[in-house]
């Protein structure tokens, strides 16, 4: 299968999870062997060969699981350059929470692993040692959190430039949930201005909706249901869990023996009309004639 933008959009989460898993797996493996080699070189005998691997991989797994939470936090609370102090405090608080969760997850995994070998794991043996260990982990976790934020920001910027990103143009924030007459598309360093009424059909692709205008495709970050619901002209209609159409571009609809139907657009593009979404066409009070082949 060729690697295309559509293929990547549909499997974006899988690619991200695979790449991050490989990175953390290799990084933890290198750190584990480094600790083991250092202990052998320094003559430390009371260290089992599996312990460094438990330490490093428990930390890596905990960080990997929390990385998704960091991405969600950045989406919910994007950095505000107009209020840098407020954003700095928010992100500092998030970094501290990240560190606490990382330590808890890491210690839990280590406890389970040591129990498997019928041994006890001690993160700290005294209150003073506990404070030291927490500060030790906090300074590393804050740096890791900052690195994750930068990594996610850069990745999102590169992905947006490659795939493109569309947004409605409106001076009134109150109508931001509704489609406007024009949509601004940023793609590969260029900006394209398209008319919403010229969108012929839409295709769901993971976390994106591909807007089709003739031979041109413009992705926008949205779900298909949200995009259709934002239409206030009653011309966009969901016809399948993966497709929606602009009724102004429908040429004809042909009934199929399966109970579904096939929609032919003016451009010649054919799309499947699922039985589940037939009623949505009727609800728009459109007079539709089904042509028999």
Classified by CATH at the fold level, domain 196-291 comes out as: OB fold (Dihydrolipoamide Acetyltransferase, E2P) (2.40.50)
pLDDT score at 2: 64
Residue of 292, 290, 276 whose CA lies nearest to 237? 276
Residue of 263, 252, 256, 247 whose CA lies nearest to 289? 252
Strands of the sheet containing 270-273, edge to edge, are 270-273, 261-265, 250-255, 290-291
Domain extents in the chain: 5-163, 196-291
Q: What angle do CA 53, 58, 61 make, to 5 degrees?
A: 120
pLDDT score at 172: 41
**Is pLDDT at 126 greater than 60 in this prediction?**
yes
pLDDT score at 175: 37
Of 17-26, 37-46, 116-125, 135-144, the one with minimum mean pLDDT is: 37-46
Contacts of 189 (CB under 8 A, 6+ apart): 161
CA distance 274 to 262: 9
Q: pLDDT tens for residues 15-44?
A: 889 999 999 999 999 999 999 898 888 877
SS (H, E, C) the chain: CCCCHHHHHHCHHHHHHHHHHHHHHHHHHHHHHHHHHHHHHCCCCCCCCCHHHHHHHHHHHHHHHHHHHHHHHHHHCCCCCCCHHHHHHHHHHHHHHHHHHHHHHHHHHHHHHHHHCCCCCCCCCCHHHHHHHHHHHHHHHHHHHHHHHHHHHHHHHHHHHHHCEEEECCCCHHHCCCCCCEEEEEECCEEEEEEHHHCCEEEEECCEEEEEECCEEEEEECCHHHHHHCCCCCCEEECCCCEEEEHHHEEEEEECCCCCEEEEECCCCEEEECHHHHHHHHHCCCCCCEECC
Q: pLDDT tens for residues 203-240?
A: 888 778 888 888 788 888 788 888 888 887 778 888 88
**Is pLDDT at 74 greater than 80 in this prediction?**
yes
pLDDT score at 178: 65
Give pTM, 2 decimals: 0.66
Q: Is 133 buried (19+), middle (13-18) or exposed (0-12) by CB count in 10 A?
A: middle
In which band, very low, low, confident or very high, does the pLDDT at 169 lie, cut at 50, 70 and 90? Answer: low
Q: pLDDT tens for residues 255-291?
A: 877 777 888 998 888 988 887 887 766 655 454 444 4
């Amino acid at each position: 299968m060729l690697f295309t933008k559509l293929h990547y959009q549909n499997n974006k989460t899988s690619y991200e999870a695979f790449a991050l898993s490989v990175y953390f797996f290799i990084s933890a493996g290198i750190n584990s062997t480094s600790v083991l080699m250092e202990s052998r070189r320094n003559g430390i005998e009371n260290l089992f060969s599996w312990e460094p691997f438990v330490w490093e991989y428990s930390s890596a797994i905990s960080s990997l699981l929390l990385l998704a939470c960091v991405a969600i936090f950045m989406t919910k609370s994007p950095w505000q350059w107009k209020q840098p102090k407020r954003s700095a405090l928010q992100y500092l608080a998030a970094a501290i929470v990240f560190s606490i969760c990382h330590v808890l997850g890491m210690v839990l995994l280590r406890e389970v692993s040591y129990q498997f070998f019928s041994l006890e794991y001690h993160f700290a043996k005294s209150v003073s040692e506990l404070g030291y260990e927490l500060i030790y982990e906090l300074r590393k976790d804050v740096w890791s959190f900052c690195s994750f934020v930068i990594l996610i920001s850069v990745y999102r910027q590169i992905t947006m430039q490659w795939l493109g990103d569309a947004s409605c143009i409106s001076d009134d924030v109150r109508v931001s949930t509704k489609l406007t007459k024009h949509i601004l598309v940023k793609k590969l360093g260029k900006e394209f201005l398209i008319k919403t009424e010229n969108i012929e059909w839409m295709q769901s692709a993971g976390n994106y909706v591909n807007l089709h205008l003739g031979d041109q495709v413009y992705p926008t970050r949205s779900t298909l249901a949200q995009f259709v619901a934002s239409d206030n002209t009653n011309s966009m209609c969901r016809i399948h869990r993966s497709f929606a159409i602009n009724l102004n571009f429908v040429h004809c609809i042909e009934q199929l023996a399966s109970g579904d139907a096939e929609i032919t657009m003016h451009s010649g593009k054919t799309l499947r009309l699922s039985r589940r979404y037939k009623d949505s066409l009727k609800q728009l009070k459109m007079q539709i004639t089904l042509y028999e082949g």
